[in-house]
Amino acid sequence: MTKTLSTLFAFAVLSATALQARAACIAEIKPEDLVTAGSVQLSINPTNPPQQYVDSDGTLKGLNVELAAEIAKRICTPVILVRMDFPGMIPAVKSGRLDGMNTGMFWNEERSRILFMVPYGTQGMSIVVAPKGEAAIKSAADLAGTAVGVENNSFQQKWMNEYNAAQVAKGAKPITIRSFNTATDVTGALLAGQVDSALLIDSVARVLVEKGRAREAVTGLGENRMSMAFRNKAVADAVVRAFNSMQQDGTYKALFDKFGLRGLPDGQMVAIVGPGPQ
């Protein structure tokens, strides 16, 4: 099975039996609101455990996979998860090749003007170093003069670029920022000695540390909301209603607890945040 951007790998997360349970629908989507009538097609990059990953049998697993299954059941429309690397996702949605993104993307104002952003959880970032490395990094300031790996076109990359510019303006040595297509590639570069450290989302960093593949140096940086994103407001609205239903019946909290991840602050309901495409 290919792992390229053009992969046809897709994962249908709604059974025919569930499709028949129309009476339980929270919202239904009109065929004209979808790229392909009859299914919601969302991109996913399964390189960020425990949000989304592939097990030893090649099966997609993780929080975002199970959330997609619940959303599909509640909107009575199959959700197809299409595997691709992160840099190609926003262009694919904007051009109408996909309905949206289900990859835990961080919310920011720029993205909220390109797509309909639906924040549904909370995440931060961590700096990790090789497990037996000699990098003496105890704070972000210690990154000055070193090489840091980040995922291309990611919030991590944007945050690191802005942090570096601010530190250089204060007289610090510049950070060499090296970008890679996936978090897996970033980790590989770290272990190969191509970078001194890596800036990863907290949950990915935690898994690496637990497996002994990295050592956590700094955590809790740039806390933000992880989001799904959609090209069509009607689809985004339906997903929001599905999330609100999950929040009300306890499914939302149960799934976040299952994967050790953080949802939105108590009492905050999932909603579209930002103006959407202009």
SS3 230: strand
Q: What is the CATH number of domain 10-123+225-263?
A: 3.40.190.10
What is the full per-residue pLDDT of the chain (278 aa) written as tens digits? 444 433 344 444 444 444 444 457 988 899 999 999 999 999 999 999 999 999 999 999 999 999 999 999 999 999 999 999 999 999 999 999 999 999 999 999 999 999 999 999 999 999 999 998 666 899 999 999 999 999 999 999 999 999 999 999 999 999 999 999 999 999 999 999 999 999 999 999 999 999 999 999 999 999 999 999 999 999 999 999 999 999 999 999 999 999 999 999 998 999 999 999 98
Judge contact between 277 and 116, C-beta under 8 A.
Answer: yes
Domain boundaries of the chain, sorted by first residue: 10-123+225-263, 124-223
Task: For residue 35, give the H/E element and its range.
Answer: none
Residue 134: per-residue pLDDT: 67
CATH superfamily of domain region 124-223: Periplasmic binding protein-like II (3.40.190.10)
Residue 132: per-residue pLDDT: 84
Contacts of 169 (CB under 8 A, 6+ apart): none
Contacts of 221 (CB under 8 A, 6+ apart): 124, 125, 126, 127, 140, 159, 199
